[in-house]
DNA sequence: GCTAATCTCTACAGTCTCTGGAGCTATTTG
DNA sequence: CAAATAGCTCCAGAGACTGTAGAGATTAGC
């Protein structure tokens, strides 16, 4: 935990590319790293965890602004609750919604895999099924849960 | 079912923006549309279903390459199941993994919201939850979610 | 100690997936 | 039939990377 390492090692440990790490630093998702005598970035274990977190959250479909908020919850655990609570609640709603939708897809994919028993996919109904799910379409907040808006 | 309609109606019915539909055509996610005398694209019901499917899958965090694969399952209904089965299983694994991670995050966020009601978030473990997931050796394929909110 | 291989640095161009605008044409409707 | 609406193509830009070039830093082998 003591000896710092450079960006290449951080990249390997976290699974985030070197360029991406520098990009995250640039946009403030990662703190400004200490520098060595020769101007190379130096990191510790905390950065590995942070990057793994970002990577997973990205994989789960969160946008960087959302992830930034989640990171803030961890960065300032002593902060007054009002704001954090609001963020946590909003993220929680988002997460619950994602789970719900994914569970629906899981069901359909499972059925499909079952139906697909080494024959032909003559009645593969993924498209039908997913496109007929009108109920989960009109979502409150304009559909895609992402940045922007 | 018979009368064709133009892109605006398709957009409304599917919930996908006009520009995005044209973009999908450009990159081959949607077939080249027939054109009217005046060069306007004409569509039928099949396109509505296809676009709804794409939209849902995007909302769920699938990348276009993955969606393309899923669409192929429906486009080639006479194809032998082997490959399709494999794709479906892979997507299913991906979905299950996401659900698992999201559930962990959900638990943590719920806990935080609860704690918030009583004072402060003394130990926020959001990062830990999502950063400790080493077992899921990041896999490429199409899981990437580029949706941002 | 010197050199070659291997990072790392900055800066900037390009990709992917949309999204929006300008300027013009087609269609609908009052 | 003119105005409003919708569509067309082409182009720019945003978000989140990804890759490349050229120069400096670090390390490993001799």
- Residue A23 belongs to some domain of the structure: yes
Examine the pLDDT at B67 and tell me if it is beyond 80: yes
Query: Which of strand C's nucleotides are less than 7 A from any protein C-beta?
Result: 7-11, 16-21, 25-27
- Residue A2 belongs to some domain of the structure: no
Q: Which of A52-61, A125-134, B20-29, B90-99 has the highest mean pLDDT?
A: B20-29
Does B52 lie in the same domain as B29? Answer: yes
- Overall average pLDDT of the A130-145 stretch: 42
Does B103 lie in the same domain as B54? Answer: no
Does B71 lie in the same domain as B11? Answer: yes
* CB-CB neighbors (< 8 A) of B85 in chain A: 113, 116, 118
A113, A122, A138 member nearest B85 (Cβ): A113
- Overall average pLDDT of the A1-9 stretch: 84
Does A112 lie in the same domain as A140? Answer: yes
Domains held by chain B: number? 2
For chain A, percent of residues with pLDDT exceeding 70? 69
- Residue A141 belongs to some domain of the structure: yes
Query: From the CA atom positions of chain A, what is the Rg in Å?
Result: 21
Strand bridging mode A41-42 / B34-35: unpaired
- Overall average pLDDT of the A56-62 stretch: 80
Domain boundaries, position A141: 62-149
Does B96 lie in the same domain as B45? Answer: no
* CB-CB neighbors (< 8 A) of B143 in chain A: 59
* Choice among A4-18, A91-105, B16-30 with the minimum mean pLDDT: A91-105
- Residue B117 belongs to some domain of the structure: yes
Judge whether A146 and B146 are in contact, CB under 8 Å: no
**In CATH, what number is assigned to the domain containing residue B59?**
1.10.1660.10
B7 CA to D5 C1' distance (Å): 13
- What integer pLDDT is reported at residue A33 of this predicted model? 95
Tell if the CB–CB gap between B116 and A79 is shorter than 8 Å: no
- What integer pLDDT is reported at residue B123 of this predicted model? 63
Run of H or E including A41 = strand A41-42
Query: Which of strand D's nucleotides are less than 7 A from any protein C-beta?
Result: 6-10, 15-20, 24-26
Q: Cα–Cα distance between B40 and B32 in angstroms, integer? A: 12
pLDDT tens track for B105-115? 888 778 777 77
Q: Cα–Cα distance between B36 and B33 in angstroms, integer? A: 10
Q: Cα–Cα distance between A63 and B89 in angstroms, integer? A: 27
Examine the pLDDT at B60 and tell me if it is beyond 80: no
Helical H segments across chain A, by residue range: 7-14, 18-26, 45-59, 64-75, 81-115, 126-131
Query: To which residue do tokens 């390492």 refer?
Result: A5
Taking the CA of residue A100 and the nearest CA in chain B, the distance in Å comes to 9
Examine the pLDDT at A77 and tell me if it is beyond 70: no
Interface test with A, best of B31, B70, B90, B145 (most A CBs within 10 A): B145
Closest CA relative to residue A39, chosen from A84, A16, A77, A7: A7
Run of H or E including B35 = strand B34-35
- Overall average pLDDT of the A111-116 stretch: 72
The reply to whether A17 Cβ lies less than 7 angstroms from strand D is yes
Averaged confidence pLDDT in chain A:
76
- Residue A32 belongs to some domain of the structure: yes
Run of H or E including B41 = strand B41-42
Interface test with A, best of B11, B14, B127, B146 (most A CBs within 10 A): B127
Judge whether B21 and B29 are in contact, CB under 8 Å: no
Q: Cα–Cα distance between B108 and B114 in angstroms, integer? A: 10
Q: Cα–Cα distance between A25 and B22 in angstroms, integer? A: 35
Q: Could you tell me how many CB contacts below 8 A there are between chain A and chain B?
A: 221
Looking only at Cα atoms, what is the longest distance across chain B?
A: 68
Does A77 lie in the same domain as A55? Answer: no
Does A47 lie in the same domain as A67? Answer: no
Q: Cα–Cα distance between B54 and B141 in angstroms, integer? A: 17
Does A46 lie in the same domain as A90? Answer: no
Sign, Cα dihedral of B27, B33, B39, B40 = negative
Examine the pLDDT at B77 and tell me if it is beyond 70: no
Instruction: Please give the structure tokens belonging to residue A12.
Output: 């390997």
- What integer pLDDT is reported at residue B15 of this predicted model? 92
Does A144 lie in the same domain as A91? Answer: yes
- Overall average pLDDT of the A95-116 stretch: 79
- Residue B141 belongs to some domain of the structure: no
Q: Which nucleotide is nearest to A42 (CA to C1')?
A: C8
* Choice among A79-83, A98-102, B44-48, B107-111 with the minimum mean pLDDT: A79-83
Say whether A34 sits in a helix, a strand or coil: strand
Examine the pLDDT at B24 and tell me if it is beyond 50: yes
Averaged confidence pLDDT in chain B:
77
- Residue B146 belongs to some domain of the structure: no
Domain boundary among A18, A39, A59: A59
- Overall average pLDDT of the A72-97 stretch: 74
Does A128 lie in the same domain as A107? Answer: yes
Does A100 lie in the same domain as A122? Answer: yes
- Overall average pLDDT of the B140-147 stretch: 35
Does B67 lie in the same domain as B29? Answer: yes
Smallest CA–C1' distance to C25, residue: B38
Q: Looking at chain B, how many residues does it have?
A: 149
Q: Which nucleotide is nearest to B29 (CA to C1')?
A: C17
- Residue B56 belongs to some domain of the structure: yes
- What integer pLDDT is reported at residue A30 of this predicted model? 95
Examine the pLDDT at B58 and tell me if it is beyond 50: yes
């Amino acid at each position: 935990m003591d000896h710092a390492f450079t960006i290449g090692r951080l990249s390997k440990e976290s699974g985030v590319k070197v360029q991406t790490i520098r990009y995250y630093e640039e946009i403030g998702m990662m703190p400004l790293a200490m520098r060595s005598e020769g101007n190379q970035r130096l990191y510790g274990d905390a950065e590995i965890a942070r990057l793994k977190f970002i990577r997973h959250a990205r994989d789960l479909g969160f946008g960087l602004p959302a992830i930034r908020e989640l990171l803030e919850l961890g960065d300032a655990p002593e902060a007054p609750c009002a704001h954090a609570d609001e963020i946590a609640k909003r993220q929680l709603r988002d997460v619950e919604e994602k789970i719900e939708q994914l569970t629906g897809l899981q069901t359909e994919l499972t059925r499909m895999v079952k139906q697909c028993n080494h024959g032909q996919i003559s009645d593969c109904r993924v498209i039908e099924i997913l496109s007929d799910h009108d109920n989960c379409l009109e979502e409150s907040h304009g559909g895609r849960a992402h940045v922007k808006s």
